[in-house]
Amino acid sequence: MCFSATASFTLAGALVPLGAITLANARGTGSPLWPFAVYPLAFGLQQAIEGALWLGIGAEDPALTIASARGFLFFSHFFWLAWVPLSVWLTEPPGRRRRGLGWLSVIGCLFGLSIFLPAALLRDWLYVEVIHRSIEYRTTLIYEGIISRTALKLFYAAIVVSALLLSSHRHIRIFGALVAVSLVATYGFFAYAFISVWCFFAAILSAYLAWVVIARPARGTAPPG
């Protein structure tokens, strides 16, 4: 499978307008699932940033490369860890499930800050390179020598996937299952560039949420199933 600036910009070109339309639709219909309308747009912006990163690497432009890498990591290492559980929390009625998602949102936000800020602020803590036509993001973590990277990846996945699967809305749980499958597939076949490839697959899957918000407004406003 080949990933490139063209692949990233093409996906961004599809998701950014789709995300804008989805957000406008959610606002117009008052859909309770409006937080999920953010996903396609955010993923589109993330892919556009990675497209710029490809250009920076190809042109051997260190300023563009590091700026784009930090922009991508903002989404991959912080935004999704915070927004995924928060978006589910925002769509849930008061109760134990919502309280649990609230705590999960706090944990995701704090964990995200702990793995993003050092890489964003310290130049030597972030390095990118192309391996087998995919970008590998190498970051130094404050957990080095304390917690294995495999354990940290599992913790990350647990926050994101469990939040989606805890949703009382069936289509959000389906999306969570799809994300989980993409995670396993990415780890099995593209472990050398896990972050970039998983985000690429998740970006494609976010189109499903656009369909849920736009094409199924009646279902979206009905009691969760």
Task: Please give the chain's pLDDT, 225 residues, in tens.
Answer: 447 899 999 999 999 999 999 999 998 888 889 999 999 999 999 999 999 999 999 999 999 999 999 999 999 999 999 999 999 999 999 999 999 999 999 999 999 999 999 999 998 899 998 988 889 999 999 999 999 999 999 999 999 999 999 999 999 999 999 999 999 999 888 888 888 899 999 999 999 999 999 886 544 444 444
Please give the Cα distance from 159 to 124 (Å, whole number). Answer: 28
Separation of first and last alpha carbons in the chain: 37
Query: What's residue 223's pLDDT?
Result: 41
Please give the Cα distance from 172 to 155 (Å, whole number). Answer: 20
Query: What's residue 220's pLDDT?
Result: 42
Number of DSSP helices (H) and strands (E) in the chain, helices first = 9, 2
Query: What's residue 217's pLDDT?
Result: 56
For residue 47, give every residue at least 6 positions away whose Cβ sits within 8 Å of its Cβ, in sequence order, or none. Answer: 8, 9, 11, 12, 15, 199, 200, 203
- Quick check: pTM over 0.95? no
Helix 149-165 and helix 96-121, axial crossing angle in degrees, nearest 10 = 140
Q: What angle do CA 53, 72, 88 make, to 5 degrees?
A: 150
Q: What angle do CA 125, 126, 132 make, to 5 degrees?
A: 140
DSSP 190: -
Please give the Cα distance from 113 to 122 (Å, whole number). Answer: 14
Query: What's residue 191's pLDDT?
Result: 84
- The first and second tokens of residue 210, run together, are 């656009």
Task: Provide long-range contacts, Cβ within 8 A and 24+ apart, for 24-30.
Answer: 25/213, 25/214, 25/217, 26/213, 29/217, 29/220, 29/221, 30/221
Locate all alpha helices (DSSP H) within 122-216, ordered by sequence: 149-165, 170-189, 194-215
CA 11 vs CA 8, 119, 153: distances in Å: 5, 26, 25
Query: What's residue 194's pLDDT?
Result: 87
Closest of 196, 207, 199 to residue 15, by C-alpha = 207
Phi, psi of 127 (to 5 degrees): -145, 135
Element (H, E) at 130: strand 126-131
